[in-house]
């Protein structure tokens, strides 16, 4: 009897072990941004990403960024420096600008690149890295090609036989909407089996911009400020223009309409419209917000650079109503820092409605909440996005 009992127990243990082993081998099925079901390994250990920092930032928050073995953006491992002349002898210098994920994960600098802007994807290098998962984000600079080329790239990646999960940035939709970023975060939470942590992150970002929306929601259209989203691009100047401006169909205008309740001073479409000096003077916006545009561009460049003195009579420049968005290398799609953009736009347009918020401190709280870091690291993140000017705010 005892022998039979022992055999029965051994049989149960064997069945349970077999079941657990089978469960370990079974994949996790997720539905990506295309609506396609993808089976990925239960335990992912080697990931190749093609993203300008969005995927890598979420993986940083989830504590799985060390699984990345290959990157698809040259803007992640790079640091930047810029300088701007004045009418006098001074030069304003900016050093050590970088993507926040680069500062938080210096090991990313050493990883091989499988793609970069203008060069396509190196499929042989992807295979050589032996990943068990590929994560890509359409709308990233490395993937901001025509629809036919993008479809071909996705087809070729799928043909490698490696699970491929596709995320879609907000600008890849007909109507940009920040809900899509939340969906991306939640999808990555499913991929790495951390749905609760991903939910906390997406909720926090949504709450940040919802607070801004509530503060400005009662501004009637007739009293809404005219805000110009201007990029002081050297490329625009080399083509005879004064800068690039963002149109009505961009994610920046979505921010203005839905959260800031201000009007885009430029009523055309398109993201990189080149306007000359006369055209900018004719717009004469109430406020100007400078965007990343082939370089970082602070207000001091617009105020003091000799090549912008012809714009000094613009209302916003004369009133010193100019601010700059954080340094965002490879600014093709919005990433986790998008609430900073919304806050800067809102405080620039309506300072009286946000006078209780000190932007420098708000930024520290933001970085601490998003990346779960201490105050010292949050200050360093603020610096690497060249936002320390916010500390001077009274």
- 59-69: pLDDT as tens digits: 999 999 999 99
pLDDT at 19: 40
Domain 39-168 and domain 216-392 have a common topology: yes
Contacts of 18 (CB under 8 A, 6+ apart): none
pLDDT at 80: 96
Contact 157, 121 (CB under 8 A): yes
pLDDT in tens, 198-249: 999 999 999 999 999 999 999 999 999 999 999 999 999 999 999 999 999 9
pTM of the model: 0.91
End-to-end CA distance of the chain: 85
Rounded Cα gap, residues 70 and 51, in angstroms: 11
pLDDT band at 316 (very low <50, low <70, confident <90, very high): very high
Rounded Cα gap, residues 227 and 193, in angstroms: 42
User: To which CATH superfamily is domain 39-168 assigned?
Assistant: Nitrogenase molybdenum iron protein domain (3.40.50.1980)
pLDDT in tens, 173-202: 887 788 899 999 999 999 999 999 999 999
Domain 216-392 top-level CATH class: alpha beta
Coil/strand/helix, residue 121: strand
Instruction: Name the residue ranges covered by the structural domains of the chain.
Output: 39-168, 216-392
Supply φ then ψ for residue 233, to 5 degrees: -75, 130
pLDDT above 90 as % of the chain: 85
CB burial string 99-134: b at 16+ within 10 A, e below: bbbbbbbeebeebebbbbbeeebbeeebeebebbbb
């Amino acid at each position: 009897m005892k022998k039979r009992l022992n055999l029965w127990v051994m049989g149960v243990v064997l069945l349970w072990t077999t079941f657990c082993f089978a469960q370990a081998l079974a994949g996790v099925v997720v539905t990506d941004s295309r609506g396609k079901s993808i089976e990925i390994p239960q335990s992912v250990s080697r990931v190749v990403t093609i993203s300008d920092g969005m995927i890598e930032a979420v993986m940083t928050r989830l504590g799985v960024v060390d699984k990345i073995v290959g990157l698809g953006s040259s803007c992640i491992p790079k640091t930047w420096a810029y300088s701007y002349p004045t009418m006098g002898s001074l030069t304003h210098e900016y050093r050590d600008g970088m993507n926040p994920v680069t500062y938080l994960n210096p090991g990313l600098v050493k990883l091989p690149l499988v793609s970069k802007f203008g060069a396509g994807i190196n499929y042989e290098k992807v295979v050589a890295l032996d990943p068990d998962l590929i994560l890509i984000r359409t709308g990233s600079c490395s993937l901001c090609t025509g629809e036919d080329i993008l479809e071909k790239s996705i087809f070729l990646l799928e043909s490698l036989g490696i699970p491929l999960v596709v995320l879609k940035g907000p600008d890849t939709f007909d109507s940009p909407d920040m809900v899509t970023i939340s969906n991306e975060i939640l999808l990555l939470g499913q991929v790495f089996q951390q749905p609760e942590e991903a939910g906390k992150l997406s909720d926090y970002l949504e709450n940040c911009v919802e607070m801004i929306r509530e503060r400005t929601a009662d501004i009637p259209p007739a009293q809404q400020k005219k805000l110009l989203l201007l990029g002081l691009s050297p490329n625009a100047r080399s083509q005879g223009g004064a800068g690039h401006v963002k149109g009505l169909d961009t994610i920046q205008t979505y921010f203005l309409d839905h959260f800031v309740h201000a009007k885009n001073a430029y009523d055309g479409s398109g993201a990189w419209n080149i306007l000359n000096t006369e055209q900018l003077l004719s717009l004469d916006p109430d406020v100007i917000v400078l965007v990343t545009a082939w370089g970082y561009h602070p207000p001091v460049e617009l105020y003091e650079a000799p090549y912008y003195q012809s714009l000094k009579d613009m209302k916003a420049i004369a009133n010193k109503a100019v601010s700059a968005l954080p340094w965002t290398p490879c600014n093709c799609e919005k990433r986790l820092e998008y609430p900073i953009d919304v806050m800067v736009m809102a405080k620039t347009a309506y300072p009286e409605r946000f006078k209780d918020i000190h932007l420098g401190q708000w930024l520290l709280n933001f970085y601490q909440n998003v990346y779960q870091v201490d105050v010292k690291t949050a200050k360093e993140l603020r610096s690497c996005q060249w936002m320390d000017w916010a500390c001077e705010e009274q």
